Structure 1
Amino acid sequence: MLNDWDCILFDADDTLFHFDAFAGLQQMFTRYDVHFTEQDYADYQAVNKPLWVDYQNGTISAVQLQTRRFTLWGEKLSVAPEVLNSDFLNAMAEICLPLDGAAALLEALKGKVKIAIITNGFTALQQARLERTGFRDYFDALVISEQVGVPKPDAAIFDHALQLLGNPDRNRVLMVGDTPESDILGGMNAGVKTCWIDHGTRPLPPHITPTWQVKNLPALQSILTA
């Protein structure tokens, strides 16, 4: 099956790495002597989630997302939102763990196909996590929307990644991710095959059709190495 592919593209958050934002925020706010509760997290997500939709739709920038989600807390603590955002990304890097099967999958792919990350996550966090997990050397390219200037699902970020990878035949490229609206739709927009990692936490919109659907990374490895 690996002979069918020239390149495999991965999302980062909740595809290769655990992304426990609640734990990261709790750790970050302990530095300010704040007990960050589940209600605080619900209030944060009420602001954060629409900002991510705006970012994926291209109506706000990465910097605007990162500052606006901490505006209220910045006012409450008299701390610049940019500082809170930086503290949050540092905390997320500190608690980072790979998903089960991530290391084994990357090891199985190394040297057999080109591997890249395409992420809407932010530069400081992505680079720190790759260093901390020892995953950096597995990847031929690390493509971050904050640096490229367009997020998934825009086909332009995929075009950029594939250019870095030598412009392979798109029928021989697979995009793997957990978020249908960015990862799978983005892959469809770019004309590549897709695999949805279905963690059972979100529905698949009817207009988004992945090529494959698996529950976890070991299941994907079984398909790719069959």
Structure 2
Amino acid sequence: MKQYRTLLFDVDDTILDFKAAEALALRLLFEDQNIPLTDEMKRQYKTINQSLWRAFEEGKITRDEVVNTRFSALFKEYGYEADGALLEQKYRRFLEKGHQLMDGAFDLISNLQLQFDLYIVTNGVSKTQYKRLRDSGLFPFFKDIFVSEDTGCQKPMKEYFDYVFARIPQFSAEHTLIIGDSLTADVKGGQLAGLDTCWFNPDLKQNELEIMPTYEIRELEELYRILNIEHSVSC
């Protein structure tokens, strides 16, 4: 069994439940605008948002272009004129309220930090990610947090990982594992950087890409087996 010393964790839908946070933020935003939020609107937002973030991962657009245009594009679909940047500011305040944990995340992280060096690697907005991690109680368990907004580049870009590696003391790629829910950001990024990768896939999505992780897990607790450590329950 390979011995790892350093674990890099994605945040959204890996250790924090972004879907729950997003659902709350969207509901509050539409209530603020006095516009009924339908299931069809939710689906359309998801399509627009995922498309923009994918373009960001590919280096085609900036983070500001993602967050400041997604709501204006959505509202335009339904005949509403909207200031995308202003809506983003309101949405961001609502999103910061969402710090729900993924099942087993607190127990896992609080245990792993006793034996491994843990770091956060996340694409997103720095202020939002820091607040959500603090409010969740996970913040103290990580030695450092690397948010794409602060690094000037993003997963899966090799430059992002070069930035991270340069700031981890005595870093060794051979003894590092990245864990995340995104094949295109976490797994592909880890592979480009020469790391072993673990795809967290709780919904059992089909892998239709030519991106093969080192490991695939459905539950976070499966990491104990991969890391070859005993599972102790936090009190």
Asked if TM exceeds 0.5, the reply is yes
CA drift of 1:124 comes to: 2.3
CA drift of 1:10 comes to: 0.5
What's the counterpart of residue 57 of structure 1?
Answer: 58
Percent identity of the aligned residues?
A: 26
* Greater displacement, 28-37 / 54-63: 28-37
Q: Which amino acid in the other structure matches residue 7 of structure 1?
A: T
Pair 1:15 & 2:14 matched:
yes
What's the counterpart of residue 210 of structure 1?
Answer: 213
Counterpart of 2:191 (choices 181, 188, 191) is 188
Matches within 5 A, 1:30-179: 30-72=31-73, 80-179=83-182
CA drift of 1:222 comes to: 3.7
Q: 1:65 to 1:203 in 2, by over 3 A?
A: same
What's the counterpart of residue 29 of structure 1?
Answer: 30
- Cα distance in structure 2, aligned partners of 1:203 and 1:158: 26
- Cα distance in structure 2, aligned partners of 1:25 and 1:205: 29
RMSD: 2.0
Q: 1:34 to 1:206 in 2, by over 3 A?
A: closer
TM-score by length of 2: 0.88
- Cα distance in structure 1, aligned partners of 2:149 and 2:208: 26
CA drift of 1:11 comes to: 0.6
Q: Which amino acid in the other structure matches residue 121 of structure 1?
A: G
Q: Which amino acid in the other structure matches residue 112 of structure 1?
A: Q
Q: 1:38 to 1:132 in 2, by over 3 A?
A: same
Gaps in structure 1 of 5+ consecutive residues: none
Q: Which amino acid in the other structure matches residue 88 of structure 1?
A: Y
Name the SS of the counterpart of 1:98 in structure 2: coil
Name the SS of the counterpart of 2:153 in structure 1: coil
Q: Which amino acid in the other structure matches residue 7 of structure 2?
A: I
User: Quick check: 2:14–2:200 contact (8 Å CA) kept in 1?
Assistant: yes
* Greater displacement, 8-17 / 201-210: 201-210
TM-score by length of 1: 0.91
Q: Which amino acid in the other structure matches residue 139 of structure 2?
A: R
- Cα distance in structure 2, aligned partners of 1:77 and 1:130: 34
